[in-house]
Amino acid sequence: MPQNDLIAHVRALNEQFRHHSAVPVLAHALSDPAFGRIALVSSFGAESVVLLHMLSITRRDTPVIFIDTRLLFAETLVYQQELAERLALSDVRIIRAGQADLARHDPDGTLHQRDPDTCCALRKTAPLEAALTQFGGWITGRKRFHGATRQALDFFEIEAETGRIKVNPLAHWRREDVQTYIEENRLPRHPLVAQGYPSIGCMPCTSSVREGEDIRAGRWRDREKTECGIHFAAGKVTRNGVSA
């Protein structure tokens, strides 16, 4: 589909689905021929179980991409294996930065201290971009209540630089909706949630959150950085159908 037609299609979908719930949005994303092959990208973090569960009851053979940065909490790695097995997800793809790239750019494993943006680009953005080249779109768990660059999220977006579709089925969910869904479906929580980690990334760059703080306050604490970079195109966050 030509890019202009795809932009019009995405804007029409956002209008069509603006009063719909997450499952119909997800189901449409998995069946829309304009999107091509599509994958879900999951961190297997604090809220990931919601979208993974929806996928398991919608189309569990959908590819699920998990980025192992080699700096994750041990609890995340165990949770990823246990959750994939429990939900019977049949196509989980674990991707990592190559050892040669790590040896060249982060030989002592301290890049996250000196330059966290470059560390994220090396360990997350580049491996994901390589994995997504075979897909026409991807599904994310981003939500408006996360604040910052996510407050204007739509269900459907287009990455202007790549032309890929990005789908955010939970964009309009509130934090209470996440909690209710997990409880009603008796889903296992990430073990670090009970220890004060409502948003979980790499171990060196994630801290617990105090009562009253923003849900993502523990990510890159005391730095201006708020995103790892995988949701940016040409350095800009994608918003309202095209990159802003």
**Per-domain residue ranges of the chain:** 3-243
Model pLDDT, residue 146: 72
**Lookup result for tokens 């491996």:** 127
Half-sphere exposure of 186 (CA within 13 A, CB side): 1
Assigned fold of 3-243? Rossmann fold (3.40.50)
8 A C-beta contact, residue 190 and residue 45:
yes
Give the pLDDT of the chain (244 residues) as one tens digit per residue. Answer: 777 888 899 999 999 998 899 999 999 999 999 999 999 999 999 999 999 999 999 999 999 999 999 999 999 999 999 999 999 999 999 999 999 999 999 999 999 999 999 999 999 999 999 999 999 999 999 988 876 666 778 999 998 788 899 999 999 999 999 999 999 999 999 999 999 998 899 999 999 998 888 888 888 777 766 666 665 544 443 433 433 2
Catalytic annotation, pick one of 119, 120, 202, 228: 228
Contacts (Cβ under 8 Å, ≥6 apart) of 43: 66, 67, 76, 141, 200, 201
Q: How far apart are CA 205 and CA 71, in angstroms?
A: 9
Nearest residue to 160 via CA among 241, 39, 230, 229 = 241
With left for phi above 0 and alpha for psi between -120 and 50, is residue 7 left, alpha or beta? alpha
Q: Report the amino acid identity of residue 139.
A: I
Residue 193's alpha-carbon distances to 68, 69, 107, in angstroms, are 19, 20, 31
Find the helix packing angle between 74-86 and 48-58, rounded to 10°: 20
Backbone angles phi, psi at 25, to 5 degrees: -65, -45
**Lookup result for tokens 């989980």:** 92
Q: E-strand spans in the chain?
A: 38-41, 64-67, 92-95, 137-139, 156-158, 165-167, 232-233, 236-239, 242-243
Token readout for 145 is 């209540």
CB atoms within 10 A of CB 39: 19
Contacts (Cβ under 8 Å, ≥6 apart) of 163: 3, 6
> For residue 202, what is the DSSP state?
B
The length of the chain in residues reads 244
228 flagged as catalytic: yes
**Beta partners for residue 232, in sequence order:** 237
Token readout for 73 is 């909490």
